[in-house]
Amino acid sequence: MSLQTLLTKAVKQAVKTVYNADLETVEFQATRKEFAGDITVVVFPMLRVVKGNPVQIGEAIGDFLVQNVEEVKAFNVVKGFLNVEIVDAYYLNVFNILKADKNFGVLQPKTKDHAVMVEYSSPNTNKPLHLGHIRNNLLGYSVAEIIKASGKTVYKTQIINDRGIHICKSMLAWQRYGKGETPKSTGLKGDKLVGNYYVKFDQEYKKEIAVLIAEGKTEDEAKKEAPILLEAQQMLQKWEAGDKKVVALWESMNQWVYKGFDVTYKNLGVDFDKLYYESQTYLLGKEFVNEGLRTNVFYKKEDGSVWCDLTEDGLDEKIVLRSDGTAVYMTQDIGTAIQRAKDFPNVGGMVYAVGNEQDYHFQVLFLILKKLGFDWAKNLFHLSYGMVDLPSGKMKSREGTVVDADDLIADMTSTAQDISEELGKLDGYSDEEKSELYKTIGLGALKYYILKVDPKKRILFDPKESIDF
């Protein structure tokens, strides 16, 4: 029996008992967030058959419900609205019933014509996962599970951004300052170790900028001419040219990061069906850039860079290949989308869970794919969500001002343990059972804290408040 059906019967009985009147219908609405309650009974329509003050009528019905309906634990009346609080046992019973129903959520048979691909996480291999990635993963994974419950086949995927100038920055900093240290020699997770060198690069880069400015360069000139940046750019060119030493270092450091990511994903409770790597898909993207040049979708400037003119579509010009021949993010995303369509021809649509800072990027990507002649491009969707800020401002990985995902998960687990021990409700549980329960409660609290916010809204995240249960 649904909650509304249960309460409709009870409210009608209350009115019959207290006022000897018959209600034809009972009107409900969602309880406003500023008031306690799970569901609200609207009293005003009852005045047609019950004469009196709406507040007094609401209180009389509320008293009847508390005394006679075991599912109702409390109530409050605000003007003509009776806000009803339901006991936790009711919801637990409903969940147990649904859990026992093997067909729950399967609204239609899964067929090859109903496949959807959902992309989320999509990290860079120059830093560990952080709070922003947690929101991304939880949103993407949840949407994938919801689509799956509707009866569609779902493929959960990510594109691992494992190449580019930002990756070379970590590599170069490790070459200069790492003294050969490894995750094994330091005891650090590989993603954290590599992330430390991304921060180190930024520190040294700023020092060199300051020196150049002191020598008379403008800030813009100093940023472009800093030796450490020029060396990182040269490293990227060597990587794309297949330099054996650079590629070997890249492979080694990326493996450190992948092992670190796997630990975080397992702790967070998310998984993937298929992984894509930018280092592979960008090549396909470059192929289609050349194809687009032949069909006039793209054009080449005097410096050799390749662009797409989208001004007639209300957008701007977009670079798809640098003058030195190296790829940009757009090149890779073009290649990734095309490769996925080749790998999964039964996919009817793709969902990209990516922050709203990339809204314009996806407008451009989807339009370019349509111009390249791919009919499936009309079924691409950007699940745009608000960024996560700290009280001190926007998180910046290169400056080390981020909330580390592993640390946050550990903090939530630790807080669950502290509160559980303080309440003393786990007496009789084994240490192993307690440990597992702490993780379950802590992770559940974290997921609720993140997912309760409308995806379109930014989150101001205070680490201390987030673990206040």
The pLDDT tens digits of the residues spanning 291-318 come to 999 999 999 999 999 999 999 999 999 9
| Residue 230 and residue 81 share a domain | no
Angle, alpha carbons 41-45-48 (nearest 5°) = 140
Assess if residue 304 is contained within a domain: no
| Residue 462 and residue 341 share a domain | no
d(CA 25, CA 27): 7
| Residue 65 and residue 201 share a domain | no
Q: Which range (110-114, 164-168, 280-284) has the least confidence? A: 110-114
- Considering its fold, how many domains does the chain have in total? 3
Smallest CA-to-CA distance from 407 within 459, 467, 355, 353 is with: 467
| The pLDDT of residue 392 | 62
More confident residue, 348 or 262: 262
| The pLDDT of residue 395 | 47
d(CA 395, CA 129): 12
Question: pLDDT tier at 334 (50, 70, 90 boundaries)?
Answer: very high
Across the range 100-114, mean pLDDT stands at 56
- Among 393, 426, 444, the domain-final residue is 393
Q: Which two tokens stand for residue 274?
A: 């298929």
| The pLDDT of residue 210 | 97
- CATH number of the domain where residue 213 is located: 3.40.50.620
| Residue 387 and residue 410 share a domain | no
The Cβ of residue 245 has, within 10 Å, a number of other Cβ atoms equal to 9
Q: Looking at the predicted structure, is the pLDDT value of residue 137 above 90?
A: yes
Across the range 322-346, mean pLDDT stands at 92
- Among 338, 364, 393, the domain-final residue is 393
| Residue 414 and residue 365 share a domain | no
> Exposed, middle or buried by CB within 10 Å (0-12, 13-18, 19+), for 307?
middle
Assess if residue 295 is contained within a domain: no
Q: Which range (196-205, 232-241, 390-399) has the least confidence? A: 390-399
Assess if residue 285 is contained within a domain: no
Q: Which range (113-122, 166-175, 308-317, 377-386) has the least confidence? A: 113-122
Parent domain of 176:
115-257+326-393
| Residue 361 and residue 442 share a domain | no
Assess if residue 35 is contained within a domain: yes
Angle, alpha carbons 204-327-337 (nearest 5°) = 125
Query: Which of 65-94 are b and which e, b meaning 16 or more Cβ less than 10 Å from the residue's Cβ?
Result: beeebebbbebbbeebbbbbbbeeebeeee
d(CA 169, CA 176): 11
d(CA 448, CA 362): 28
| Residue 134 and residue 39 share a domain | no
| Residue 384 and residue 409 share a domain | no
Assess if residue 380 is contained within a domain: yes
Assess if residue 411 is contained within a domain: yes
| Residue 419 and residue 347 share a domain | no
Assess if residue 22 is contained within a domain: yes
| Residue 419 and residue 378 share a domain | no
d(CA 403, CA 410): 12
d(CA 416, CA 422): 10
d(CA 209, CA 247): 28
Angle, alpha carbons 408-410-412 (nearest 5°) = 70
32-42 pLDDT, tens digit per residue, is: 888 999 999 99
Assess if residue 386 is contained within a domain: yes
| Residue 133 and residue 76 share a domain | no
Across the range 383-400, mean pLDDT stands at 68
